[in-house]
Amino acid sequence: MEDHDKLKKLLGLIDLTSLESIDNEKTITELILKANDGYDGHYPAAVCVYPNFGNLVRKTLLQSINTAVVGGSFPSGQTITVAKIAELKLIEKTTVEEVDIVINRGEFLDGNFDFVKNEILLMRKAAPTKILKVILETGELKSEENIKKASWLAIDAGADFIKTSTGKGTAGATLQAVEIMCNVIFIHYQKSGKKIGIKPSGGIREIEDALNYMNLVNGILGEEWMNKKLFRIGASSLYSAIILELKKPHE
């Protein structure tokens, strides 16, 4: 029974996502129906899509489920800064609650930390009412020191969540990267009293893996983080797998 309770909790922490080049109104509507169906009164934390589908999702999704979109030249983070700001201003005018942006890893790896921080600050300012999730793309940052520095940059620039990956790179989430990010969040919380959310994302396909991330975050940050306001998992393929597992007869 305890396992079932844990799986239901996990279901409610997932950002159900479709970020495909062939997405259209039909595929997104199917995603919305999947989210609205839920399982036994349990639903995903949010549905995450490209910005052009944001209003459609918000209009037809259950009110208890948040609508998230991606921005900031997702997934590469490579474009003119004013274009990123313009995109975030347009997203601010939509009915969605959340936006997942991505840092410019090229500038970061070149040591242009002030540039990266300033871009996040400007995007934060452009969408002041939205929950801001900042994707670090930890697999491309290579070192523990870089992941730590990027985490601090994002938090200092106004991130509500820090997130591992776009899911479009060659490497996704790792327990090591999430541990580093959680430790930064913990130190920040001790210093400021402000809780920052964490979102492991990218390549999390097995239930056991997702539970390992949940246990890791719980172990470092505590039970206070075990809710959708502070902890998300980006693992859409996992959503159906959890429901299949929950539907199995009790032994």
pTM score over 0.85: yes
- Catalogue the active-site residues: 100, 163, 199
pLDDT at 1: 37
Owning domain of residue 60: 2-247
Angle between helices 207-221 and 2-11 (to 10 degrees): 90
- What CATH number should be reported for the domain holding residue 144? 3.20.20.70
Name the pLDDT band for 170 (thresholds 50, 70, 90). Answer: confident
Quick one: DSSP state of residue 40? T
Q: 251 pLDDT exceeds 70?
A: no
On the question of pLDDT at 247 being above 60, the answer is yes
The pLDDT, as a whole number, for residue 250 is 65
The sign of the CA dihedral 36, 207, 229, 199 is: negative
What per-residue confidence (pLDDT) applies to 236?
82
Mean pLDDT of 140-149: 96
pLDDT band at 200 (very low <50, low <70, confident <90, very high): very high
Residue with tokens 């169906």: 37
| 177-193 average pLDDT score | 98
Q: Give how far the C-alpha of residue 193 lies from the chain's centroid of Cα atoms, to the nearest Å.
A: 22
Residue 185 is predicted with a pLDDT of: 98
User: What does the pLDDT read at residue 237?
Assistant: 86
Q: Is a pLDDT exceeding 90 seen at residue 131?
A: yes
* Stretch 200-219: mean pLDDT: 95
pLDDT in tens, 67-122: 999 999 999 999 999 999 999 999 999 999 999 999 999 999 999 999 999 999 99
| Cβ proximity of 195 and 231 under 8 Å | no
pLDDT at 235 > cutoff 90: no
The pLDDT, as a whole number, for residue 169 is: 82
Q: For the chain, what is the domain count?
A: 1
Q: Token pair for residue 1?
A: 């029974």
User: Average pLDDT, whole number, for the chain?
Assistant: 96
The Cβ of residue 115 has, within 10 Å, a number of other Cβ atoms equal to 13
Please name the helix (run of DSSP H) or strand (run of DSSP E) that holds residue 119, with its range, or none.
Answer: helix 113-126
pLDDT digits (tens, 9 = 90+) for 2-57: 588 899 999 999 999 999 999 999 999 999 999 999 999 999 999 999 999 999 99
